[in-house]
Amino acid sequence: MPSKARPRSRIQQKNREVILDAALEVFSLHGFRGATLDQIADVAGLSKPNLLYYFPSKEAVHKALLTGLLDTWLDPLRAMHPDGEPLAEILAYVRRKLDLARDYPRESRLFANEILQGAPRMREAIEGDLKSLVAEKAFVLTGWMDQGRIARVDPVHLIFSIWSLTQHYADFDVQVRAVLGPGHDPFAEAGGFLETLFSRLLKP
């Protein structure tokens, strides 16, 4: 029988978390191609050899980040319940996605950078778990439409529109704040606007 991997010590786990947080900062600013292990080690406050003890390459650090990120990104859609009130479920999903963009802007930019590069390190997950979940929820949305509980629209493009209209506030944060000017809370204002937009779009 193969031997089980030894559990990580508390210090090892802490160092991994420090490295991944530093990598998130570097990758979200510079993208995969522009980031280096030296930059990640510097932000983490560790030596490069110490970093390499935990992750053998830049690719390994990036993959670890993306693996955790995909689950975070899919959780709000998973929570859309087929037995709930349709419009309330959709608006709650919009709010969860907007909150995710507000609370995890670096993760949003990391995901966007990966997609813009053709998703070379996420294609399998996108064509697997993500695509399957979208198909599952599109089936739920279509059922609600067939019952006359929400207006008929393309369910997959509805999900796409929610992604784009929420993640925009993280991915283009500088542009949003520059246009709005001081004294504005983009996420609070966006929440009301998006609720009105999707309520009117989906009203039976």
CATH numbers and ranges of domains, the chain? 9-56 (1.10.10.60), 65-202 (1.10.357.10)
Per-residue pLDDT of the chain (204 residues), as tens digits, is 444 445 667 888 899 999 999 998 998 888 888 899 999 999 999 999 999 999 999 999 988 888 878 888 899 999 999 999 999 999 999 999 999 999 988 888 888 888 888 888 888 888 888 999 999 999 999 999 999 999 999 999 999 999 999 999 999 999 999 999 999 999 999 999 999 999 999 999
Return the pLDDT at 3.
Answer: 43
Residue 66 · residue 122 · CB < 8 Å: yes
- Determine the 3-state secondary structure of 130 from DSSP: helix
**Residue 193: its pLDDT value, please?**
97
CA proximity to 25, closest of 53, 11, 8, 45: 45
Q: pLDDT digit string (tens) for 47-76?
A: 999 999 999 999 999 888 888 788 888 999
Are 107 and 24 in contact, with CB atoms under 8 Å apart?
A: yes
Dihedral sign (CA 9, 62, 106, 97) = negative
Report the alpha-carbon distance of residue 93 to residue 110 in Å, rounded.
Answer: 21
- Please choose, from the candidates 88, 94, 79, the residue with its C-alpha nearest in 3D space to the C-alpha of residue 169: 94
CA dihedral in degrees (82, 85, 86, 92; nearest 10)?
Answer: -90
